[in-house]
Chains A and B, each alone.
Chain A
Amino acid sequence: MSPLLSVRDLCVTFRITRGGDMPWTAPRLLRAVNGVSFDLEPGQTLGVVGESGCGKSTLARGLIRMVPSTGRALWQDGTDLLALSSRQMLRYRSRIQMVFQDPLASLNPRMTLGQIIGEPLRTHRPDLSGAERRTRVAGMMERVGLLPQMISRYPHEFSGGQCQRIGIARALVMEPKLLICDEPVSALDVSIQAQVVDLLKDLQRDMGLAMIFIAHDLSVVKHIADEVMVLYLGRVMEKAPKARLYADPQHPYTQALLSAVPIPDPVAERAKKIIALEGDLPSPMSPPSGCVFRTRCRRGKPDCAETVPDPGTGPHRTACLYPGPVREVETG
């Protein structure tokens, strides 16, 4: 089976202009996403995790060309999404849809549910009549667990979980092939999180969706992803099938992240050893040389500053010169 989306060496670079800069000074470059590659099979879910500011959301925005990006993103039919003109891209926009982090903020407060969910249809299927559009919207509302008679209501009349359902309905009404979820549950209560994740899983199974699921919560990703990619400062640290990554993480950063996940068992939680990372995320304006993680890594050796670790190929990739299970010196 050919992958639905095959991303190679995706980079997102921002030019930073500062107040005092003269027009002729070279702009500073901020590389928010650096050389990300992955394949996504139809119906599969790729989880993307990492701490705040590591480029998770920028990766998603780069893929759908909300921010300028370089590299290649090959769609199933062989088209490079990043090379298309914005007019050509329009055809693919209906096949890639997005769910946003803040449920209420992603809905226009002046529009009714019918107008919000119907907007993609209005954009991509102008041939549909108002009544047909309404039928489809009502059908979609039912599928995400909203009552169709609420079609004339406004977003502020709904709870966060319901608003996220509206967002999902809007994303799925065009029956896309790929759904990009940018932290879809981070703003919700834990009990609602589970409902929304389950809804996404159900819809994925029914519609054969591929998903890119961005989160900073590793336990949510564990629930939904087939494969997990760990980002740090815009680079892939580790990428592996879910079971492998959670059972046998190789990269010290992944190990630190996993050790921070609470275990709902007090005995196990107390016995657990936490790998505390020291310091803050370095500025992406001037990332460390060599391995970007070396400034916070206890495994770091002098040569980490010189060579950029190659994640290699294969199902389990680790961008570390000294991969391996957790060592005694790292816990404490």
Chain B
Amino acid sequence: MVSTAEQTTATDVAPKKGRSLWADARRRFLRNKAAMLGLAILVFVALFAVFGGLLAQWSNEELDYNVMGQAAQLGGPSLENGHYFGTDDLGRDLFARTVQGTQISLAVGVIGALIACVVGTVYGATAGYLGGRIDSVMMRLVDIFMAVPYMFVLILLLVMYGRSITILFIGVGLISWMEMARIVRGQTLSLKGRDFVEAAQATGVSTPVIIARHIVPNLLGVIAVYATLLVPLMILTESFISFLGLGVQEPMTSLGALISEGAGTIAYGTTWQLGFPLLFFVLTLFGFFFVGDGLRDALDPKDR
């Protein structure tokens, strides 16, 4: 039996396409001022990292012999000699160095967070969905790994395999997936009791397909939020490692390494050497945190 009332109202308003939960979330996100400011900052930082090199008058490896040795007096930011952000102690252009450092820091953050997300989601969703003994074993393993001081392991890795950026990527990604796995497992546990998962099981959909089609899409909101908040943490970790002098190697640099150098020479009055890298560092972190908060509000309207 067809109810005519239901049908007519449906015809009146029926657009061809439905509005998905994602579209709803996007609308809420776009209305969030702080998140939009964060996004604008991030876009600015990203543009700076990608196209900043085109504006630079100097390459990041060139030494300006006019300034060398007198960085405190002559190496300040100036438009005349093309060092917009000044130079470092060796006479290298700080603008070009900051562009390069931002690139590396962003790459470490994003790639590290990506690794963490993929590994953590697959691991956590599998453990949570299968449940029982498998879940216990998998999660106890995470507990054990979590108990290991990760900074220590990362430093050991870098010492053993040499200071390479690949090791840094892998190391940062592999230590941060565990938190992700826990969050995803918790969400999966609450999802797998839902009726639509049971409906899929009753129809005979296979376990990997249920995880891929029913569990993970419903987790994506949580994952997206956590990932955006993870990126700045990755950047902080990398900066800390670089600050210790174990991070990226010269002539490559990162924001953390630049800040470290700038902090070392601040006693000579070269404040720009600390100030500009720090500015971009803080902007990046602010941007990611604001966007992450905005995403959480947009994707989880009940959670406020």
Contact = CB atoms under 8 A, between A and B. Distances in A.
B199 A123 contact: no
B304 interface: no
A29 interface: no
Given A66-B198, A147-B11, A156 B21 contact: yes
Contact of A147 (B7, B19, B200, B217): B7
Nearest to B209: A123
Contacts of A157: 18-19
A153 B18 contact: yes
B28 interface: no
Interface in A162-209: 162, 167, 170, 195, 198-199, 202
A161 interface: yes
A226 B231 CA distance: 62
- The interface residues of chain B, by DSSP majority, are classed as helix
B20 interface: yes
Contacts of B209: 123
B8 to A, nearest CB: 10
B14 interface: yes
A120 interface: yes
Interface string B1-41: 11100110011001011111100000000000000000000
B10 A147 contact: yes
A172 B218 CA distance: 25
A241 to B, nearest CB: 25
A66 B7 contact: no
A150 B198 contact: no
Contacts of B217: 108, 110-111
Interface residues of B, number: 31
A75 to B, nearest CB: 15
Given A64-B202, A124-B204, A147-B7, A105 B18 contact: no
A111 B196 CA distance: 11
Contact of A154 (B1, B18, B204, B214): B18
Nearest to A165: B6
A199 B20 CA distance: 28
A91 B253 CA distance: 60
A90 B213 CA distance: 19
Interface in B223-263: none
A259 interface: no
A204 to B, nearest CB: 12
Contacts of B20: 110, 112, 154
A89 B203 CA distance: 10
A230 B122 CA distance: 45
A102 interface: yes
A106 B195 contact: yes
B55 interface: no
Interface string A83-127: 000000110011001101110011111111100000110011000
A146 B10 CA distance: 9
A79 interface: no
Given A105-B194, A157-B18, A162-B6, A145 B1 contact: yes
A123 B194 contact: no
Nearest to B11: A147
Q: What 7 A-B pairs have minimum CB-CB distances, sorted nearest first?
A: A153-B18, A93-B204, A145-B2, A106-B195, A110-B217, A198-B1, A105-B195
6 contacts: A66-B198, A112-B18, A147-B7, A152-B18, A154-B21, A198-B1
